[in-house]
Structure 1
Amino acid sequence: MVDVQGGRLSAVGSAANGALLRLSLKLDGSVSGLVAALSLLGAGTLDALLGLPVWLHWAQGAFLAVYAVGLWYAATHPAVMRPIGVAAVVLNAVWAVGCAAILAAGASWFPLTPLGGGYVGFIGIAVVVFGSMQYAGLRRVG
């Protein structure tokens, strides 16, 4: 929870209350950073392996690189940064819906390979897990 004192924002609540939120932001940031690097460095190879176009890997990688930095900043900031935690929950929910839409659309959107379908499904599950952890962490913070 955040309180305004003397014109400055300050953290409210114990460090233990923010531990789950910090952990979930760090985990999400770590995985997002790895996927960003993989997407940016291996877009051409991933295109052939997964059936997702190069432009999508580039866009995903660029977004996730910025997202990962933001999550790590929030997780290591002295005050619990509730707005970034809320944004992470929302973005993870949107990402999960996007993964489900890609899987539901099938070949009409992208010619996914079996590995590509597994990849999109795994990413969808992972963001649901991260978003759920972040939501639970936000509830503890208050």
Structure 2
Amino acid sequence: MVDEPAGLRDGRFGARGSAPDDGLLRFSLKLDGTVSGLVAALSLVGARMLDSLLGLPVWLHWAQGAFLAVYAVALWYGATHPAVMRPVAVAAVVLNVVWAVGCAAILAAGTSWFPLTALGGGYAGFIGIAVVVFGSMQYAGLRRAG
């Protein structure tokens, strides 16, 4: 009788016999989830204050906050599942690309869409860069995890 390697028996190894390398993917999903949760709270609680500071309307802050609250929970759920939930990670990459395009569109439209302040332009640019970084990390994590 042949004994299974301990790692295969207790689920630490994949079918190829090597430990799955999902650390970057878990980290990037949790980081994105944490930042998204913080931005959600700020957007929902401080929408009226942010309206005057950034030049983005209250309804946009509330919509952003509601979306990001759900998104943050989904990311944390997918990242802390025993096996990282690949559909959640793929959705995160896609949504980060869409979010970055949205930020770029807001910046490109300038004040024709919203009365952006200088701080609002900086905010949209910073968020756009942040989601590109998160999406890139998640994509690299997906590739590494196989």
Q: TM-score under structure 2 normalisation? A: 0.87
The residue number in structure 2 matching 1:47 is 51
For residues 96-122 of structure 1, the C-alpha deviation after alignment (integer angstroms, 9 at most, x for no partner) is 000000000001101100000000000
The residue number in structure 2 matching 1:76 is 80
1:123 is displaced (CA, Å) by: 0.2
The residue number in structure 2 matching 1:87 is 91
The residue number in structure 2 matching 1:17 is 21
For residues 54-76 of structure 1, the C-alpha deviation after alignment (integer angstroms, 9 at most, x for no partner) is 00000000000000000000111
For residues 85-141 of structure 1, the C-alpha deviation after alignment (integer angstroms, 9 at most, x for no partner) is 000000000000000000000011011000000000000000000000000000011
1:33 is displaced (CA, Å) by: 0.1
Larger of the two Rg values belongs to structure: 2
Q: Does 2:36 correspond to 1:32? A: yes
Q: Considering only aligned residues, what root-mean-square deviation do their CA atoms show, in Å?
A: 1.4
The residue number in structure 1 matching 2:8 is none
Matched letter for residue 117 of structure 1: G
For residues 40-67 of structure 1, the C-alpha deviation after alignment (integer angstroms, 9 at most, x for no partner) is 0000000000000000000000000000
Matched letter for residue 22 of structure 1: R
Matched letter for residue 36 of structure 1: A
Q: Which runs of 5+ in 2 are unaligned?
A: 1-12
Q: Which runs of 5+ in 1 are unaligned?
A: 1-10
The residue number in structure 1 matching 2:128 is 124
Task: Work out the percentage of aligned pairs sharing the same amino acid.
Answer: 83
Distance 1:83 1:52 in 2: 32
Distance 1:60 1:21 in 2: 24
Ranges of 4+ aligned residues in structure 1 off by more than 3 Å: 11-16
The residue number in structure 1 matching 2:64 is 60
Q: TM-score under structure 1 normalisation? A: 0.90
Distance 1:46 1:73 in 2: 29
The structure with the greater share of residues assigned to strand is 1
SS at match of 2:21: helix
1:12 is displaced (CA, Å) by: 4.2
Aligned residues: 132
1:15 is displaced (CA, Å) by: 5.5
Matched letter for residue 57 of structure 1: H
1:80 is displaced (CA, Å) by: 1.6
Of 123, 131, 138, 2:142 maps to 138
